[in-house]
């Protein structure tokens, strides 16, 4: 395992970390119908630049973009979008989702190295294995089962890391007097041969400024937790209660030691979908307004995937038939963690079907919170200080106004409580997350060999 050098800034004081999950018009399923929304702008660079500048004004860590290779997402390709946004911002980080099942390690290593260079060290990779629906877009008859997907993903990430390391830090010389641009002895063929990949190397671009772009993972399944403990530096997760968040937090952090890692080397960020106003009553009015815009027929059809019955055949103000939920792990593609979160929330809170629809429309299985500025800050502080989170992955109900309200009102309150930065700690995403910069495995081998001689 790579030895890690403490070459980047480590925060002396622990602060809340905040990421913004950018998702078209907003995370509420009916956001596009609201007068504050800007439907059609999700393909516009200016729209995302505005969101990025709001987040940067609020001193947030990063923007996160989910991605997939099938469906009707209407999303820009992450590398393309973030490369453009990097030129329009100075501090905000960029977390791009890239799947391992339908890509090649060499391409991914090169693209992330490029984004990290272009942004001056602000890139991060959200590592996913990919969804079943993508198989037929890549000439495959079937999607690998979950255990194999994680085996492929694990090997994929290892190849990418070795490719990033294939250039030593000082390989570029640019010695005019000696007429030497590149010290080729500091480029290394990795000659990787595994169960799924064979890659010679080296990469055709120098090592990223951060050593590795920050490694991010999303998922709460057993396989996901173990992969996160081994590989991830940030994990996005979904828990709807403080107790569940504390259990997840303690479990994943306890797994780090077996991989030679310490708890501060992994930032855990549950999803949070906040609706915020000056008063609780105003926030509840906003929540009700968005709820009134929901397409109930469509919502019931979507949520029925978790059950053996059609929810539209049950009374809206009657209880959710949780006894009719499908067994966990039975959904296509082996999806388990989100299934559990969604159904357990309905069982725990004794929801009516209408409440179930409203809750699910806002947070997609993540915790939702509606309240005043003070109440929202209280919620964040409680989860942060009691072992539930290192920060949050924010899912604003509507863009850009939902994010702007949070930045202009909640951030100052968190700063007043000493919970959030008043200036960025450094120039890279690793600096701002308090993460160390990984040592180059080949530089270490070279140094040891030189000492031995």
pLDDT tens across the length of the chain (453 residues): 333 333 333 445 799 999 999 998 999 999 999 999 999 899 999 999 999 999 999 999 999 999 988 877 778 999 999 999 999 999 999 999 999 999 999 999 999 999 999 999 999 999 998 777 788 888 888 888 888 888 999 999 999 999 999 999 999 999 999 999 999 999 999 999 999 999 999 999 999 999 999 999 987 778 788 888 998 999 999 988 899 999 999 999 999 999 999 999 999 999 999 999 999 999 999 999 999 999 999 999 989 999 999 999 999 999 999 999 888 665 554 445 566 777 888 888 899 999 889 888 888 778 999 999 999 999 999 999 999 999 999 999 999 999 999 999 999 999 999 999 999 999 999 999 999 999 999 876 545 554 554
pLDDT score recorded for residue 337: 53
The answer to whether residue 350 is domain-embedded is: no
Known binding-site positions for FMN? 67, 97, 150, 220-221
Distance CA 97, CA 94 (A): 10
Q: CA 223, CA 153: separation in Å to the nearest integer? A: 11
Residue 96 belongs to some domain of the structure: yes
Structure tokens at 421: 């930065």
Residue whose pair of structure tokens reads 């403080």 in the numeric block: 242
How far CA 210 is from CA of 119, 241, 416, in Å, comes to 11, 35, 31
Residue in 75, 96, 338 with CA at minimum distance from that of residue 216: 96
**Residue 291 falls within a domain, yes or no?**
no
**Residue 85 within a domain:** yes
Domain that holds residue 68: 15-278+367-452
Tell me the C-alpha distance between 236 and 219, whole Å. Answer: 7
- The answer to whether the beta carbons of residues 321 and 307 sit under 8 Å apart is yes
Q: Is residue 283 one of the residues assigned to a domain? A: no
Instruction: Give the model's pLDDT for residue 331.
Output: 55
Enumerate the β-bridge partners of residue 273. Answer: 368
**Distance (Å, rounded) from C-alpha 159 to C-alpha 32?**
41
Task: Say what the pLDDT of residue 444 is.
Answer: 64
CATH of residue 239's domain is 3.20.20.30
- Predicted pLDDT at 390: 98
In a domain, 182, yes or no: yes
Instruction: Give the count of domains, the chain.
Output: 1
Residue 310, in any domain of the structure = no
β-sheet bridge partners, residue 274: 369
List residues forming the annotated binding site.
67, 97, 150, 220-221
Q: What is the pTM of this model?
A: 0.89
Whether omega before 202 lies within 30 degrees of 0, making that bond cis, reads yes
| Residue pair 115/94 in contact by the 8 Å Cβ criterion | yes
Q: Measured between alpha carbons, how far is 435 from 60 in angstroms, rounded to an integer?
A: 16
Residue 313 is assigned to a structural domain of this protein: no
pLDDT at 13: 78
């Amino acid at each position: 395992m790579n030895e890690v050098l403490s070459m980047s800034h480590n925060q002396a004081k622990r602060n809340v970390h905040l990421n913004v999950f950018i998702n078209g018009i907003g995370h509420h399923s009916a956001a596009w119908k609201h007068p504050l929304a800007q439907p059609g702008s999700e393909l516009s660079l200016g729209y995302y630049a505005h969101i990025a500048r709001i987040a940067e004004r609020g001193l947030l860590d990063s923007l996160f973009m989910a991605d997939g290779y099938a469906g009707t997402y209407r999303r820009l390709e992450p590398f393309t979008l973030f490369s453009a946004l990097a030129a329009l911002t100075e501090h905000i980080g960029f977390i791009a989702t890239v799947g391992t099942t339908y890509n090649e390690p060499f391409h991914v290593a090169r693209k992330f190295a490029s984004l990290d260079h272009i942004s001056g060290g602000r890139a991060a990779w959200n590592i996913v294995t990919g969804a079943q629906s993508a198989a037929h877009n890549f000439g495959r008859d079937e999607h690998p089962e979950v255990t194999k997907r994680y085996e492929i993903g694990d090997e994929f990430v290892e190849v990418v890391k070795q490719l990033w390391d294939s250039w030593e830090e000082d390989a570029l010389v640019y010695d005019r007097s000696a007429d030497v641009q590149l010290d080729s002895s500091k480029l290394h063929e990795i000659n990787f041969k595994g169960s799924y990949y064979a890659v010679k190397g080296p990469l055709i671009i120098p090592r990223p400024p951060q050593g590795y772009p920050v490694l991010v993972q999303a998922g709460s399944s057993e396989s996901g937790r173990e992969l996160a403990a081994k590989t991830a530096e940030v994990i996005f997760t979904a828990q709807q209660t403080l107790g569940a968040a504390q259990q997840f937090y303690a479990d994943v952090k306890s797994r780090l030691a077996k991989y030679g890692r310490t708890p501060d080397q992994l930032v855990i960020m549950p999803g949070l979908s906040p609706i915020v106003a000056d008063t609780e009553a105003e926030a509840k009015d906003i929540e009700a307004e968005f709820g009134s815009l929901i397409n109930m027929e469509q919502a019931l059809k979507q949520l029925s995937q978790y059950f053996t019955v059609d929810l539209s055949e049950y009374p809206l103000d009657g209880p959710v038939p949780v006894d009719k939920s499908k067994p966990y792990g039975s959904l296509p593609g082996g999806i388990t963690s989100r299934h559990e979160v969604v159904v357990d929330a309905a069982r725990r809170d004794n929801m009516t079907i209408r409440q179930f629809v409203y809750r699910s429309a806002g947070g997609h299985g993540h915790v939702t919170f509606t309240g005043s500025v003070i109440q929202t800050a209280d919620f964040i502080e409680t989860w942060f200080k009691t072992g539930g989170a290192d920060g949050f992955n924010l899912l604003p109900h509507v863009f850009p106004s939902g994010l702007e309200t949070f930045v202009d009102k909640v951030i100052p309150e968190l700063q007043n409580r000493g919970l959030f930065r008043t200036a960025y700690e450094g120039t890279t995403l690793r600096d701002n997350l308090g993460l160390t910069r990984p040592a180059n495995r080949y530089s270490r081998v070279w140094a040891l060999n030189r000492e031995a001689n």
